[in-house]
Amino acid sequence: MNRIGLLSTLAFGLILFGLGMTNSGFLVLALPLVVFVLTGLLFGSPHPRITAERYLSARRVGVGLPVTVRITLTNQGDKLEQVWSSDTLPPDLEKLSGQTNCLVSLEPGESTSFEYTVKARRGTYFFPSLHATTSDYLGLVRRMIPLGASGSIAVLPDIRRIPTIPIRPQHTLGFPGTIPARIGGPGLTFFGVREYQVGDSMHQVNWHASARHPYTLYSNDFEQERVADIGLILDCRGESYLAMAQQSMFEYAVIAAASLAQSFLENGNRVGLVQYGQYISWTFPGYGKIQRERILAALAQANPGASLVDHFEYLPVRFFPPRSQIILVSPIQNKDLEVLFNFRARGYALMVVSPNPVSFELSTLPDRTSVRLAGRIAQIERIVLLRQLQQAGIRVLDWDITIPFEQAVLALTRGSARFNMGA
């Protein structure tokens, strides 16, 4: 309850009683209360003017890196006897050191600041607008002033530098890149032999073929290398992921998606991202560093959630250009197979990067014979599932999350999928 209101009510009540009962004792008791009320009215600042600034040492950081938040309050009006301000920390943000509030007196033009250091897990965190409460020293007349100065921090997913993954989609774009385009032209890889054309370099002439055909020269043709459209799909269905011992397997999927996006964008490809879970979030395809930022910002906010549909049936295929490369990051469930086969049937080059839920769960369980046996059975089931994908021409990276992602990707660069039999 407002203090001056309470005191005023009590004071007037006592005076009223005193007059009504003709008892001077009540009037005497009312006097100290009246003095308090008058003091509040006398010293309470009528129009406090305060500005606030929020300084963040970084707006985008990696997981676990500290961010310093400093808030500076400046008094733009008359003297303020008491100013209270407190910053509300978003949930899941861990305070490492410093102060999140202050109680000070401010002379005209004087500034004060308080700062604290926080760290957080992956995500986007919004600091709400600040408020300050001004009052006299006794806190009798309090006024709350909105100060603005909201802010946000994006904690980006961990990105691993992975080797270039060789892919061969049927359709490539017009710009030169690193992906074999299945078209002859300038390049490095031998593609075929054709009749000599004016302008061909002498080094290109295939002398062996030319020797067998008198009066005709033949040149070596090389395979063009171009950039391609790559659609990343991140499975955000809550049911796909295990979460044990305050660790979620979804984090591994996000790391994989971020690392893949970075790798393909660095090679000049056009990359888009679809998050498929509670809702469908689409990051439109694009090139370069700006696109990298867009994708990382989207991944920073990614969260697994209860999906309206329990399989990939409603995945918006039309987002991806025909015959382009699609990379699905998902632990994969049995019911997903059919939809993935359909993708393949439509001509998409499909790759599945699958964080292994069995090895994840085993890493959190005690090392017992029964657990090891159960783990082996689960691994065999998973291998059978993934083999079905491979038989449909889908490349699979079964990522045992106990080894780093960059190391797991080496298996793909050698052209074979990796299967682990578990413990």
Partner 1 sequence: MKLVRQIFSLSLALSLVSLTAAFLGKPGWVPILIGLSISIQWAFMVWNGRRTLSFSFLGLLALLVYGAAIYLPAGWLLGSLVMLLVAWDLSEFSEHLVRLDPGRVDSKLVHHHILRLFYVAGVGLVLGGLALVIKVRLGFGIAVLLGLSVFVGLAGAVRYLRRSL
Binding of partner 1 by 3 (CB under 8 A): yes
- Of residues 39 and 57, the one with the C-beta less far from partner 1: 39
Question: Binding partner 1 by CB under 8 A: which of 81, 158, 239, 266?
Answer: 81
Give 194's strand partners: 219
Is 96 an interacting residue with respect to partner 1 (CB under 8 A)?
A: no
| CB-based burial, 249-273: b 16+ in 10 Å, e otherwise | bbbbbbbbbbbbbbbbbebbbbbbb
Question: Residue length, the chain?
Answer: 423
Per-residue burial over 315-351, b if 16 or more Cβ lie within 10 Å, else e, is: beeebbbeebbbbbbbbbbeebbeebbebeeeebbbb
Q: How far is CA 290 from CA 156, 266, 294, 324, in A?
A: 15, 12, 6, 22
DSSP for 230-261?
EEEEEE-BGGG--EETTEEHHHHHHHHHHHHH
d(CA 72, CA 76): 13
Residues numbered 130-159 forming contacts with partner 1, rule: CB under 8 A: 136-139, 142
| Least Å from the CB of residue 46 to partner 1 | 14
CB of 8 to partner 1, least distance (A): 3
Choose, by CB under 8 A, the member of 59, 62, 65, 101 that binds partner 1.
Answer: 101
Examine residue 29 and tell whether it contacts partner 1 (CB under 8 A).
Answer: yes
Among 45, 75, 82, 240, binds partner 1 (CB under 8 A): 82
Please select the residue that binds partner 1; options are 56, 93, 102, 297, rule is CB under 8 A: 102
6 binds partner 1 (CB under 8 A): yes
Of residues 128 and 185, the one with the C-beta less far from partner 1: 128
Backbone phi and psi for residue 194, each to the nearest 5 degrees, phi listed first: -140, 170
- Report which secondary-structure segment, H or E, holds 217: none
Q: How near is the Cβ of 76 to partner 1 at its closest, in Å?
A: 20
Residue carrying the six token digits 């998606």: 257
| Residue 31 touching partner 1 (CB under 8 A) | yes
Site residues for partner 1, 106-125, by CB under 8 A, read 114
For partner 1, which residue of 57, 68, 72, 86 counts as binding (CB under 8 A)?
86
19 binds partner 1 per the rule CB under 8 A:
yes
Minimum distance, C-beta of residue 338 to partner 1, in the bound complex (Å): 57
Applying CB under 8 A, among 78, 100, 225, 350 the residue interacting with partner 1 is: 100
Residue 282 binds partner 1 (CB under 8 A)? no
Contact 352, 258 (CB under 8 A): no
Total residues at interface with partner 1 (CB under 8 A): 51
d(CA 83, CA 75): 10
Minimum gap (Å) between residue 93 Cβ and partner 1 = 15
Rounded (10°) CA dihedral 136, 138, 144, 148: 70
- Tell me if 73 contacts partner 1 by CB under 8 A: no
Spatial neighbors of 132 by CB under 8 A, at least 6 apart, are 48, 50, 52, 73, 83, 84, 85, 144, 145, 147
Chain residues in the site for partner 1 (CB under 8 A): 1-6, 8-10, 12-17, 19-29, 31-33, 35-36, 39, 43, 81-82, 84, 86, 98-105, 114, 136-139, 142
